[in-house]
């Protein structure tokens, strides 16, 4: 999931942190492009995109794993499901699946995207207006694909054969955001992430920004922690989905609102905790 409706704390500080975080990602993507624009399409779209994915994924998830295993009190107090602990066996099982998905699903799909010519490589960074349009299309495309694929995966046959793997973690951890059957990872994760840039022929800087934002957001929503003033999602929404499995299927909540699949109890729980 990418951007949730309910912020972790609806405060001025939270808004400032979110703006600074978004601005930081934009600065990284544009600065990186100015340094790497002489490289080929294959390097920019496949190699650098994958490197950005890996830096965000492994950097963030290993930090969260340290908290999960060592439980420092000053951070563990923000754990959403404190009664559930992760074992080393769970970690190794997750790692085996995730590495397979990243090597044998993500790399080939990024390679296909690179040779498709659907990512724009130009001399200059696009104007901010173009970037915003590309991001709006990208977020809406991701929300649509993710919601309908995710809801389909919760039908009886698809859940028992495919999606149940992801839901083995009733209390999700950061590493488990990519713990899934390869088919689900390809369709519901990677294709959902790529569709917007493909449709609008987005610039590579938008693609890089989107990769970092999407990864940071899905890791946050699977982190299992509700840190104060976190710049992204409220992870309690997706944590609740892993507990209840019958609601909260989308990313930004648009289709959940339309189909009334947003869990009504969640708002009461969040309000009670925040107060």
Mean per-residue pLDDT of the chain = 88
The CB-based long-range contact list for 199-203 (8 Å cut-off, 24+ gap) reads: 199/137, 199/141, 200/133, 200/134, 200/137, 200/138, 201/118, 201/119, 201/120, 202/119, 202/120, 202/134, 202/137, 202/138, 203/119, 203/120, 203/121, 203/122, 203/125, 203/126, 203/130, 203/131, 203/134
pLDDT for residue 244: 61
**Over 80: is that where the pLDDT of 164 sits?**
yes
| pLDDT class of 256 with cuts at 50, 70, 90 | confident
Which pLDDT tens digit goes with each residue over 67-123?
Answer: 999 999 999 999 988 888 899 999 999 999 999 999 999 999 999 999 999 999 987
Q: For residues 69 and 87, is the Cβ–Cβ distance under 8 A?
A: no
| Model confidence band, residue 36 (pLDDT cutoffs 50, 70, 90) | very high
Is the pLDDT confidence value at 169 over 80?
yes
Percent of the chain with pLDDT over 70: 88
Q: Using the Cα atoms of residue 30, residue 187, residue 171 and residue 100 in order, give the sign of their dihedral.
A: negative
Strand partners of residue 225:
79
> Is there a contact between 231 and 16 (Cβ–Cβ < 8 Å)?
no
* pLDDT(175) > 80: yes
- Find, among 39, 48, 57, 52, the residue nearest to 217 by Cα: 57
């Amino acid at each position: 999931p990418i951007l949730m409706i309910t912020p972790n704390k609806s405060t001025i500080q939270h808004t400032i942190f979110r703006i600074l975080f978004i601005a930081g990602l934009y600065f990284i993507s544009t600065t990186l492009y100015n340094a790497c624009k002489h490289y080929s399409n294959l390097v920019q779209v496949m190699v650098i995109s994958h490197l950005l994915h890996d830096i965000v994924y492994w950097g963030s998830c290993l930090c969260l794993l340290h908290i999960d295993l060592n439980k420092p009190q000053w951070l563990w107090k923000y754990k959403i499901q404190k009664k559930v602990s992760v074992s080393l066996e769970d970690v190794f099982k997750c790692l085996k699946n995730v590495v397979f998905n990243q090597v044998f699903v993500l790399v080939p799909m990024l390679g296909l995207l690179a040779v498709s010519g659907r990512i724009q490589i130009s001399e200059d960074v696009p104007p901010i207006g173009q970037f915003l349009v590309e991001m709006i299309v990208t977020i809406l495309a991701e929300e649509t694909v993710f919601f309908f694929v995710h809801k389909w995966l919760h039908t009886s046959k698809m859940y028992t054969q495919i999606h149940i793997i992801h839901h083995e973690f009733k209390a999700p951890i950061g590493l488990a955001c990519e713990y899934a059957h390869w088919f689900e990872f390809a369709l519901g994760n990677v294709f959902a992430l790529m569709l917007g840039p493909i449709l609008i022929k987005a610039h590579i800087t938008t693609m890089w920004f989107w990769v970092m934002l999407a990864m940071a957001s899905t890791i946050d929503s699977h982190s299992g922690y509700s840190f104060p003033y976190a710049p992204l999602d409220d992870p309690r929404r997706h944590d609740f989905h892993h507990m209840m499995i019958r609601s909260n299927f989308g990313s930004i909540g648009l289709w959940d609102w339309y189909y009334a699949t947003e869990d009504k109890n969640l708002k009461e729980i969040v309000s009670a905790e925040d107060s």
